[in-house]
Structure 1
Amino acid sequence: MSLTTIIEQAFGPAATSVQDNLIPCAVLGAVTARGERAVRWAGCAQIEPKREEASRETWFDLASLTKVIFTTTRVLKLVEAGRIGLDDTLTTVIPDLRQYDMNAAERRLTFRQCLAHQTHLPAVEPLYTYGQDPETLRAFILQRVWQSGPAVYSDINYMLLGIAIERITGKPLIDQPLPPGFSFQPDPNRCAATERCTWRGRVIRGEVHDENAFALGGAAGHAGLFGTIDAVLDYAFSLLDGSGLSGESLKAIKTRESDKRTVGWEGSYPGWHGGDACSSVTIGHTGFTGTGLWIDFDRGIAWSLLTNRVHPSRHRDTGIMALRRATGEQVTAFFDARPQS
């Protein structure tokens, strides 16, 4: 069974979701460690204000896939280059972090802790309601006395990492170099639309859906990256074949820092978004707009499901969790069923 046939069959749940108007469009792609690739798509990149069909070349707001594809990878590359250590504190590059309280908990945070969401920081904060000046908001993030709590999946962790990357490289995130097929400033006419945003008063297309990332200038450590399915698969292949990260960095993204999390990624666990058929050495991540990427190192296959499930509104049940799980289970089941050479 060819990979093309596998993806055509595994696309069934997504095709049904599009047909039932649960999501406007879906693009499913997979790549193997040997370089085989297949992509299938259906639906509309935009249904409001006018309908436009999706294609293999449609650019998606990757939302929190920014955290792994861009931020985690860039931090690990800086570690590989000797610019920082994974267990260095953020203050080694952001000395003004909580600069009015030298005993503040934020000054003890390390890159590893932020990457693995093992901090006291809250999940999210509506920063965009405090203003839209990016530099003032960055200062606010650095000086705020954050409410302390148990370790949770936190956008704030990655906002801080984004600021650290800017400090180290001397470039705003929006101007950082990116591989082909990725951009923080895509052509809107090539993008899948996201939400009819009440705050911005328009259907969002080609600008980041996440309000905080928008207020921070369009790119932040937690969101802002756009990409095509082939760009996402190129990235996944670079991890499968070991060309994208060094041995120690690859080990870091596979090694658990907690029950469910590695450096940057989630590791598979019962009931997770990648489906229960994944091997124990599978990592994955999702994005709020309806995106996701999973890499099963044992099987040597990665798959990505890109949707614009928040178009035209996030305030409805699209069944995205069930769709992700069903897709992952179909991909792995059909992959396992084909003769192995």
Structure 2
Amino acid sequence: MTLSKLLDRAWAPVAERIDAGRIPGAVLGLVSADGTVKTRHAGQAQLVPKPRPMREYTWFDLASLTKVIYTTPAILKLAEAGTIDLDAPITTVLPDLRHYNLDAWERKVTFRQCLGHQTPFPAVEPIYTYGRDPDLLRTFVLQREWQAGPSVYSDINFILLGFVIERLAKKKIRELDAGEGFDWEAEPIEAAATEDCYWRHRVLVGEVHDDNCAALQGSGHAGLFGPVTSVLDFAKGLLDGTGASAEAIRLMRTPLSSRRTHGWEHPHDGWSGGDHCGTEVIGHTGFTGTGLWIDFEAGHAWTLLTNRVHPTRHFDSGIGLLRRAVGDAINGA
């Protein structure tokens, strides 16, 4: 089936959700390994305080896609250069992590475990509620006695990996190059709005939605902005091997658990890519309503970018079901 026909099939459930008022707007894009790109867009980039239409090249707060587009490639590049050893504790770069207790379990966590979310860190922690000083909050994360639990998806893993990148670069993440076609913020007139934020007292447009990333003023787990074309260019680079080394791509595709690879997810029951993906697919989602899935066997990738948290996250947008419906449409269900 051609990319155009796949796009037509996959767009139907997206258009239905927009028409039903479940999400304000969306951009859906597909790319093949040969560089062919197809996109579709509709709805509103912003509803309040004034409506603004979605455009094909609207910039999105990519949220946790930052983990796979920016942080994972950066960490794997450091490993390939021999700067870090993925199986060494992250204290080799962050020696001050829990340094008042040299036997603390946090000091034994490795780079690879953080990439695969195989650590005991909690799933959620409202770091932003502990203050507004980004340097003090970094110290808080490093010195906090974290309550250990089962291995779950945790932003703390990638916050720490972001600290690693910062420590080695001797710069804050927001001072580093975000990558071709990406940035750490966006012009409001060009960006999809996210939440009417309770603690920042404004509708967020072009500034990061993630509370902890905002308080840290940049982090490894969120904060990246970009349009559909940049996301698809990144995906094409992994499909054709020009965007990362063969070893980095191999690790991104190598399972570390029943759900996760190095940075990414792979197909499992109930996953975001739907029930009909092949075994050679990796994907990831972002809280703001974004997602990217790359099918190495089929030779194509797709991204669904929405502003489903606008004007509030406290609404059942049905984004999980929509992502799966798009994936099933692309994969022939």
Q: TM-score, normalised by structure 2?
A: 0.98
Residue 78 of structure 1, CA deviation: 1.2
**Is 2:4–2:38's contact at 8 Å kept on the other side of the alignment?**
yes
Does the aligned pair in 1 maintain the 2:18–2:43 contact within 8 Å? yes
SS at match of 1:128: helix
Q: Percent identity?
A: 56
CA contact (8 A) 1:98 1:142 kept: yes
Q: Deviations over 1:129-188 (max 9, x none)?
A: 110100000000000000000100000111100000000111110011122321102212
**Partner residue, 2:167:** 167
Residue of structure 2 in register with 1:265 after alignment: 264
Larger mean CA deviation between 182-191 and 309-318 belongs to: 182-191
Q: Which residue of 2 aligns with 1:227?
A: 226
3-state SS of the aligned residue for 1:11? helix
Letter aligned with residue 127 of structure 2: L
Listed as ranges, the matches of 1:118-197 within 5 Å are 118-197=118-197
| Cα shift at 1:58 | 0.4
How many angstroms does 1:99 deviate by?
A: 1.0
Indicate if the aligned counterparts of 2:63 and 2:221 stay in contact, CA closer than 8 A.
yes
Q: Is the 8 A contact 2:14 2:26 kept in 1?
A: yes
Determine the C-alpha separation between the residues in 2 that align with 1:119 and 1:321: 25
Residue 96 of structure 1 aligns to a residue whose secondary structure is: coil
Distance 2:81 2:103 in 1: 30
1:208 equivalenced with 2:208 (yes/no)? yes
Shift of 1:298: 1.1
How far is 1:244 from its partner?
1.8
Question: C-alpha separation between the residues in 2 aligned to 1:248 and 1:73?
Answer: 11
Residue 116 of structure 1 aligns with which residue? 116
Amino acid at match of 2:193: A
Aligned to 1:290: 289
Q: 2 CA distance for matches of 1:317 and 1:37? A: 31
* Equivalent AA in structure 2 for residue 44 of structure 1: Q
SS at match of 1:183: coil
Match of 1:330 in 2: 329
SS of aligned partner of 1:305 = strand
- In structure 1, how many angstroms separate the alpha carbons of the residues matched to 2:111 and 2:14? 36
Determine helix, strand or coil for the equivalent of 2:194. coil
Correspondence 1:58-77 to 2 at 5 A: 58-77=58-77
What is the one-letter code of the residue matched to 1:64?
S
- Conservation of the 8 A alpha-carbon contact between 1:174 and 1:185: no
CA contact (8 A) 2:178 2:224 kept: no
Between Structure 1 and Structure 2, how many residues are aligned?
A: 333
The RMSD of aligned alpha carbons is 1.1
Code of the residue aligned with 2:209 in structure 1: it is H
- What amino acid maps onto 1:267 in structure 2? H
User: Counterpart of 1:8 in structure 2: which amino acid?
Assistant: D
How far did 1:246 drift?
1.7
Q: Distance in 2 between matches of 1:279 and 1:157?
A: 28
Q: Deviations over 1:223-253 (max 9, x none)?
A: 1111110000011011111122222211211
Aligned residue in 2 for 1:275: 274
Q: Secondary structure at the match of 2:141?
A: helix
Secondary structure in 1 matching 2:152: coil
In the alignment, the residues of structure 2 paired with residue 127 and residue 260 of structure 1 have an alpha-carbon distance, to the nearest angstrom, of 26
Please give the secondary structure, in 1, of the residue aligned with 2:303: strand
SS at match of 1:48: coil
Residue-by-residue CA offset, 1:12-55 (whole Å, 9 max, x unaligned):
10011111110000100011112211111101100000000111
Who is 1:251 aligned against?
A: 250
AA matched with 2:324:
R
- Rounded to whole Å, the distance in 2 between the matches of 1:8 and 1:26 is 14
Aligned letter for 2:332? A
How many Å apart are 1:8 and its aligned residue? 2.6
Give the Cα–Cα distance (whole angstroms) in 2 for the partners of residues 80 and 188 of structure 1: 37
Q: Aligned AA for 2:48?
A: E
**5+ residue gaps, structure 1:** 335-341
Contact 1:45 1:308 in 2 (8 A): yes
SS at match of 1:215: helix
CA distance in structure 2 between the aligned counterparts of 1:242 and 1:271, rounded to whole angstroms: 29
Q: How far off its partner does 1:11 sit?
A: 0.5
Q: Is the 8 A contact 2:70 2:179 kept in 1?
A: no
Residue 307 (structure 1) aligned with residue 306 (structure 2): yes
- Separation in 1 of the partners of 2:91 and 2:278? 37
The structural deviation recorded for 1:263 is 0.6
Q: What is the aligned partner in structure 2 of residue 241 from structure 1?
A: 240
Q: Within 1, Cα distance between the matches of 2:14 and 2:227? A: 17
